[in-house]
Structure 1
Amino acid sequence: MRADRLVSLVLLLRRHGRLTATTLARELEVSTRTVLRDIEALSAAGVPVYAERGRHGGFALLPGFQTELTGLNHDEALALLVAGSRRGAQVFGLGSALASAMLKVIDALPESHRDTASDAARRLLVDPETDLLSRRLVAEEVADAVVTEVRRAVFAGHKLRIRYAAVDQAPKWRTVDPIGLVTVRGHGYLLATRSGADRTYRLSRVLAAEELTEPAQRPDRVDLDLAWRERSTQFRVGGDQVTVLVRVNPARREDLVSTALAVRTEEADADGWLRMEVAFQDSRHAEWALWQLATNAEALAPHWLRTSLRDRAAAIVTCYGESA
């Protein structure tokens, strides 16, 4: 346990540069006295840790001290950082780098641990391609050249020129300031700004990309998790949303809610069914969601949605009402 803590202490100093004993104690979940003893142990072992006194003092490593895993290149190290989601590495064009990095990690293990680790890995399966109902996860196709160019611009902090095919629009070129990359359920997104306004682009709709030499206009630090939550909120409350008044069987309520953007109102009717006002992304989204529920839901408004669902049902009846 102490050996793990000493390694963590060194890595914290490598990452942050200088930290106080109080901060280290909080990060390692130990007392400041334990941190001071660990610092002494590292110094005795030859690790160049030194103390800086004063108001902004703390502990730091001598400049140039390295703790690198020999043999890993940049993309392999990056792939390991996103390996919490195997599909994330694939979406960002790092699938082959991840496979190569894992081979190097296994090779670097002591021989006594190698077989044990390999056997343990075979007993873990993360994100299989199908679920228990044999529904296959359809992975989005993104050209390697495109995702590589996008990734380079994000990391280098350069402007990016992309040819983007928005829904129901002809593809066109646009220049953006890339901020970061996000993967959600196998779908990759580029978070960027354009002329100062927030923009989110689906990687599968980027047909071509070109990293420019001009620096991107963006903050030096970013909280991607916060940025994604903010854009998700904007998406739910903005755009060409459709609000639908619907009656739904209580047993299928969660199915409806899981596909909707938001539930505006909800109350129970006399027969026990729920009357809900629900928001969808657009008309196609609303029609698709209600169609999935068949007779377990009835759209009350708007009128065009009732008409559309009725016409679709009539077409199905006509199709199956005739002899094959």
Structure 2
Amino acid sequence: MRADRLVALVLLLRRHGRVSATTLARELEVSTRTVLRDIDALSAAGVPVYAERGRRGGFALLPGFRTELTGLNHDEALALLVAGSRRGAQAFGLGSALASAMRKVVDALPESYRATAAGAARRLLIDPETDLLARRLVPEEVPDAVVTEVRRAVFAGHKLRIHYAAVDQAPKWRTVDPIGLVTVRDQVYLLAARSGADRTYRLSRVLAAEELAEPAERPELVDLDRAWQERSTRFRTGGDQVTVLLRVNAARREELLRTALAVHAEEPDGDGWLRLEVTFSDPRHAEWALWQLATSAEALAPQWLRTALRNRAAAIATCYGVRPES
């Protein structure tokens, strides 16, 4: 780990010239004291690093210094393979590896290309943290230790113990055979087998993970795209799914369809409204989806859903029915 950091430190100095210890610490995700120790180590190894004092001071390399430091390690190469989405690299716990790999790639460019490439990169923004309505897009938080352990087991082909908190259940340990990792809209899923049966685990619900030495029981080759499609189909056609008859304002139709599993029937209902028959994954999903649409949608059947929505609305009305005295 320290060798990789020392390489990254030299590359940062070569790319940016004079850099403060605070900036180096932020880029390398370490303390300023660690940066100072690394600078001393580089100097002792013969790398010509010198310090400039003053308000705009920092550390720099002697002009003309160059050495071959662009070799990519395993995680950095892997990060580049998933770099089509910066969020993908973050989701798989490869964010720092991606940053390090990109520094090495830039350093490997011919001098004449380096400035133009950096300028072009500043003209591109992929996956910003907010959309046009300033809604922050927050990916699910998964501890680095969990992601790293799961990723190791997937790549090594070893069994994996996970402490998993399923919905409405107490967390418990399970031993699974990991097959692959899939990220969908900033949510990461572990595709695995347990006692020979397919299982899909949401990584944000994994509280702890441990790679085991025992080999996983899984196919030698895997088509993750096909495996995901098959599991998605089973999810949509099984479980506690509910079918709902409803009315929706035509202007909110697309919003409804983004949450529903399937649409079985649709017809105009007059005055800019539509009547649809749709399926949701379970009762809670149906109630949540209709609640998001407020008065732009009305559940017609089943009756339990109308009752649940009415009770929720009544509770909100009671909460705001009397204005507290100032």
Category of TM-score, reference length = shorter chain: 0.7 to 0.9
| Structure-2 change in CA distance of 1:274 and 1:183 (3 Å) | same
Any idea what the Cα deviations from partners look like across 1:135-180, whole Å, max 9, x if unmatched?
1112211111111111111111111111111011011111111111
Amino acid at match of 1:222: V
Q: Post-superposition shift, 1:248?
A: 1.4
Amino acid at match of 1:84: G
Query: Do the aligned residues in 1 keep the contact of 2:190 with 2:201 (CA within 8 Å)?
Result: yes
Separation (CA, whole Å) in 2 of partners of 1:282 and 1:301 = 15
Any idea what the Cα deviations from partners look like across 1:241-271, whole Å, max 9, x if unmatched?
1211111122221111111111122233355
Superposition TM-score, scaled by structure 2 size: 0.76
Separation (CA, whole Å) in 2 of partners of 1:272 and 1:71 = 61
1:214 is matched with 214
Amino acid at match of 2:218: R
2:289 is matched with 289
Deviant stretches of 4+, over 6 Å? none
Separation (CA, whole Å) in 2 of partners of 1:126 and 1:210 = 33
| Structure-2 change in CA distance of 1:245 and 1:117 (3 Å) | same
1:158 is matched with 158
What SS does structure 2 have at the residue aligned with 1:83?
coil
Amino acid at match of 1:165: A
Separation (CA, whole Å) in 1 of partners of 2:187 and 2:74 = 23
| Structure-2 change in CA distance of 1:193 and 1:306 (3 Å) | same
Separation (CA, whole Å) in 1 of partners of 2:300 and 2:87 = 40
2:135 is the counterpart of 1:135:
yes
Amino acid at match of 1:163: H
Q: Post-superposition shift, 1:272?
A: 5.6
2:239 is the counterpart of 1:239:
yes
- Quote the RMSD (CA, aligned, Å): 1.5
2:318 is matched with 318
Any idea what the Cα deviations from partners look like across 1:42-91, whole Å, max 9, x if unmatched?
xxxxxxxxxxxxxxxxxxxxxxxxxxx95100000000000011111111
1:144 is matched with 144
2:106 is matched with 106
Q: Post-superposition shift, 1:299?
A: 0.5
1:86 is matched with 86
Q: How many residues align?
A: 256
**Which runs of no fewer than 5 residues in structure 2 stay unpaired?**
1-68
Separation (CA, whole Å) in 2 of partners of 1:269 and 1:73 = 61
Amino acid at match of 2:120: A
Any idea what the Cα deviations from partners look like across 1:248-301, whole Å, max 9, x if unmatched?
122221111111111122233355632211111222211111111122211011
